[in-house]
């Protein structure tokens, strides 16, 4: 069955154009991602942009409007075009990941006979080390910084504490409900990517603080109004921009890092665990990673720390080279 779909695309001179694509099944693809694969809204938005950009390029460069006509040289030329426009290899690889999922979906649906991505090699990317706040600055944050009084101040502190002490993603923090706090086992039930649930342990001080916070929260807003654990100043569910600005505000007090986002606290959580000897598989489970490869980046900082210890402590490391 062939579908005709109008896809709005922004091109480089900021003129809104509409291209017609037959048989590309964009909406069915996004329904599949949302309801079967359980992709996050953020990922869906990114994939819509990526697929729209690719469709626009294929239409205007090759006059192709059917997925069945797309071959690997077309995709390779798009990669060259993206590189020429200054896109980073990391950004391009994300776009290629979208295409890989898209053509795999079409192959599964019988819309195409072969997957053109099978002969496409993604450009290599350099390893990007995670940005994190050092331990002394995190201690300074919770010991010296004034978070304010009442519900608002307590909530602000708890948002920072939970992100740092559990390594949750921003979306996971926002989705936490009061019932997800298990005081009997000192655990949080977290709904992660792909609707996968995991249990995250909490330090005793965080459990006690959350217990006190919930009492203040219920006194302020009532226990039945909203099921979510953290609420805005108006008693509503948190939203991404709110959490980002809150984290940036407090990290700015203790660090000069250029990046001061919620994800930096996730990196900080994992890096501090790794630096203090935590097993990599344990860190993987705590972060909710599906693959160990995503967690291995945190080993770099531990290795650098070991190198310094070696240089300072081993007698031969201190001996200058003599011919």
Active site residues: 169, 193, 263, 266, 289, 298
Dist CA 252 CA 250 (whole Å): 5
Dist CA 259 CA 252 (whole Å): 10
Token pair belonging to 170: 């921003």
Token pair belonging to 161: 């504490």
Task: Assess contact for 173 and 221: CB atoms under 8 A.
Answer: no
Which residues sit opposite 6 in a β-bridge? 20
Q: Which residue has the tokens 């344990």?
A: 282
Task: Assess contact for 243 and 158: CB atoms under 8 A.
Answer: no
Dist CA 54 CA 103 (whole Å): 12
Token pair belonging to 42: 């953020």
């Amino acid at each position: 069955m062939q579908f005709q779909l109008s896809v709005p695309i922004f091109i480089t001179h900021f003129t809104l154009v509409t291209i017609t694509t037959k048989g590309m099944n964009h909406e069915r693809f996004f329904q599949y991602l949302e309801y079967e694969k359980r992709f996050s809204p953020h990922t869906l938005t990114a994939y819509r942009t990526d697929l729209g950009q690719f469709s626009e390029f294929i239409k205007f460069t090759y006059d192709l409007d059917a997925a069945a006509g797309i071959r690997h040289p077309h995709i390779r030329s798009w990669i060259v075009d993206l590189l020429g426009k200054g896109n980073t290899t990391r950004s391009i690889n994300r776009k290629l990941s979208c295409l890989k999922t898209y053509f795999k979906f079409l192959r599964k649906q019988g819309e195409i006979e072969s997957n053109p991505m099978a002969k496409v090699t993604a450009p290599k990317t350099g390893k990007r080390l995670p940005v994190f706040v050092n331990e002394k600055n995190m201690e300074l944050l919770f010991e010296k910084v004034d978070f304010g009084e009442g519900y608002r101040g307590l909530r602000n502190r708890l948002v920072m504490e939970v992100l740092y002490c559990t390594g949750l993603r921003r979306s996971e923090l926002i989705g936490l409900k009061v019932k997800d706090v298990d005081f009997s086992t000192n655990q949080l039930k977290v709904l992660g990517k792909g609707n996968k649930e995991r249990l995250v342990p909490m330090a005793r001080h965080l459990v006690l603080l959350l217990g006190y916070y919930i009492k203040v929260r219920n006194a302020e807003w009532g226990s039945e109004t909203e099921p979510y654990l953290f609420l805005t100043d108006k008693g509503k569910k948190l939203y991404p921009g709110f959490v980002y600005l809150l984290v940036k505000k407090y990290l700015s007090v203790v660090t000069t890092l250029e990046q001061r986002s919620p994800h930096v606290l996730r990196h900080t959580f994992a890096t501090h665990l790794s630096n203090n000897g935590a097993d990599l598989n344990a860190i993987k489970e705590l972060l909710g990673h599906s693959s160990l490869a995503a967690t291995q980046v945190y080993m770099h900082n531990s290795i650098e720390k070991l190198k310094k210890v070696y240089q300072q402590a081993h007698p031969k490391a201190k001996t200058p080279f003599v011919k």
